[in-house]
Amino acid sequence: MSIYIDSANIEEIKQALDLGWISGITTNPLLLAKEGTEVSALLKDLGHLTSGSVFYQLISETFKEMIEEADRALDILEDKLVVKLPPTDLGFKVCSQLSTRVSCCPTAIYSPAQALVASEAGAQFIAVYVNRATRLMVDGIQLLVDIADVLTNSPTDILAASIKSPDEAFQSIRAGAKHLTLPFDTLTQMSDHPLSQEAVDQFKRDGAGLEK
């Protein structure tokens, strides 16, 4: 399992990576736009920050331009790049072409049928929008169960995205997701529990340890 930070904000990403258990960075066009800076420079910075993967989503709208855009991203991020693609006929076609030489992740997946197509197109990951599915359509956790079921013998991994709480994160893994991408606030809540804090306070107050 890998846990990624879903952000394009340098400060958030630095803090997240500093936790020591984050495997990389997922971005999307909206997260990149929010930073209001040149995307190529920002991607270069993200590549310098992590030794893990950096997910970048193609925004071009023709086959040729998407391949060219992926190659530009590859020049910047080299083997750290995972190419995110829209789950459309064009996106899956580009995935088939690119997946022989770079990791691909069709994103905004909302159905088991799309997951099957992504698998056939050679995707290493699919990003399933869990909370959005719950809000807009059906139970996002049940959607993960169904997708995990149809991908049982596939090498394509489920990356649970659009996660809004630690509870939704653990339920996603239990439902069959292999990886998580979490926004900064959810990510920082993952290690918290009030009873753990109580125990830590008591150890500090009443306990003993090795002398300096």
List the alpha helices (DSSP H) in 111-165.
112-120, 130-136, 140-150
Strand partners, 56: 83
Q: Does 168 bind ligand G3P (CB under 6 A)?
A: no
- When the beta carbons of 28 and 103 are compared against ligand G3P, the nearer one is 28
Residue type at position 46: L
Query: Applying CB under 6 A, which of residues 50, 103, 124, 162 lies at the interface with ligand G3P?
Result: 162
84 carries an active-site annotation: yes
**Half-sphere exposure (Cβ direction) of 4: Cα atoms closer than 13 Å:** 27
What part of residues 19-58 is at the interface with ligand G3P (CB under 6 A)? 26, 28
Given a contact cutoff of 8 angstroms between Cβ atoms, the answer to whether 156 and 118 are in contact is yes
Instruction: Check residue 114 for interaction with ligand G3P (CB under 6 A).
Output: no
User: Are 131 and 164 within 8 A, CB to CB?
Assistant: yes
Residues 63-92 that bind ligand G3P (CB under 6 A): none
Residue list 131-160, contact with ligand G3P (CB under 6 A): 131-132
Q: Which residues bind ligand G3P (CB under 6 A)?
A: 6, 26, 28, 129, 131-132, 161-162, 181
Positions annotated as catalytic residues are 84
